[in-house]
């Protein structure tokens, strides 16, 4: 079976160009504390990496080959005065997580935070997508998160007050027609986070999960948000806004982070509205959006 992404394990190390005092270092922490972020070349992952760097954390960034990771890492190192290491790989390949762990071990990095951000959202009818696409979405959204967390957990246990941040979605709160794999994959991420948080309670490792609405990470997401009208406008945000909202709450130990009042209301409605009422509404809403997007695509073609 061919991979959804190319498999290239190129490694880059970005040298720090200036040294400044940062909040984390002022608190007496080791200067060798790092945050590992997956899917870090753009969107939410890049925004979280930038915000962590502004807080004084060094970075270990992971993303797909040829995704612009080296350029983003160099810019962060230059602007924030932190060390940035990068690894380009395909996280659907089980060997990638092992390679990440070995790089952390061999370089002596002390891991303070793991951000499981890498994921894929392929919308559309279940039978309009190939089985390979469904399997690869499960591989990235579920298996890669499980595998990497398991392999680096012993490293996190060595650093007091370390953290795991998992990126889920508002789609985790209920089953969504036209997102039949994405929605349950994010439900897994949310419940997985709650479960290991409880298990790790006495270890000093905090576990948080964020469930945002639409985050404007690319042109396709922007089009889908625009189709949702007022709801899309009220529930969406830019990646930089999300990062600034999320990180202080992670460090305060908040378990579930739902950005925006509208998303909080939608979360509650998703819990109290019976599925026989909720599912037909979601089906109608997203079927309409998919039909509009398909018509636009055919017009462009």
Which stretches of the chain are DSSP H helices? 23-26, 43-54, 69-80, 94-107, 131-138, 144-156, 182-199, 219-227, 229-235, 239-251, 261-272, 275-300
What is the Cα–Cα distance from 301 to 299, expressed in whole angstroms? 5
Q: Which helix (H) or strand (E) holds 286?
A: helix 275-300
Residues designated catalytic? 182
User: Which residue do the tokens 């590992």 mark?
Assistant: 36
**Mapping DSSP to helix (H, G, I), strand (E, B) and coil, where does residue 88 land?**
strand
Other beta carbons within 10 angstroms of residue 262's beta carbon come to 17
- For residue 23, give the 3-state DSSP assignment: helix
b/e code 132-159 from CB counts within 10 Å (16+ = b): eebebbbbbbbbbbebbbebbbebbeeb
């Amino acid at each position: 079976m061919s991979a959804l992404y190319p498999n290239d394990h190129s490694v880059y190390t970005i040298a720090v160009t200036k040294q400044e005092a940062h909040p984390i270092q002022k608190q007496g922490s080791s200067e060798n504390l790092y945050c590992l972020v997956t899917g870090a070349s753009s969107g939410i992952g890049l925004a979280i990496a930038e915000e962590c760097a502004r807080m004084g954390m060094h970075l270990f960034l992971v993303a797909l080959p040829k995704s612009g990771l080296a350029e983003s890492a160099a810019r962060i190192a230059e602007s924030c005065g932190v060390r940035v290491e990068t690894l380009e790989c395909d996280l659907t390949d089980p060997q990638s997580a092992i390679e990440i762990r070995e790089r952390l071990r061999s370089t002596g990095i002390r891991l303070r935070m793991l951000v499981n951000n890498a994921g894929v959202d392929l919308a559309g009818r279940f039978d309009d997508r190939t089985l390979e696409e469904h399997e690869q979405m499960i591989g990235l959204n579920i298996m890669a998160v499980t595998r990497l967390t398991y392999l680096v957990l012993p490293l996190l246990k060595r650093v007091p007050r370390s953290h795991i941040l998992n990126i889920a979605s508002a789609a985790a709160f209920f089953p969504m027609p036209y997102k039949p794999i994405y929605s349950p994959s994010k439900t897994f991420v949310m419940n997985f986070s709650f479960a290991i948080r409880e298990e790790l309670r006495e270890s000093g490792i905090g576990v948080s999960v964020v469930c945002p609405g639409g985050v404007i990470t690319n042109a396709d997401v922007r089009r889908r948000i625009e189709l949702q009208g007022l709801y899309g406008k009220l529930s969406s945000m830019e990646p930089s806004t999300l990062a600034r909202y999320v990180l202080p709450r992670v460090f305060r130990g908040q378990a579930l982070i739902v950005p925006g009042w509208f998303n909080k209301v939608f979360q509650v409605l998703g819990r109290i509205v019976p599925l026989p009422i909720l599912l037909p509404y979601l089906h109608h809403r997203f079927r309409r959006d998919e039909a509009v997007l398909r018509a636009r695509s055919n017009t462009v073609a």
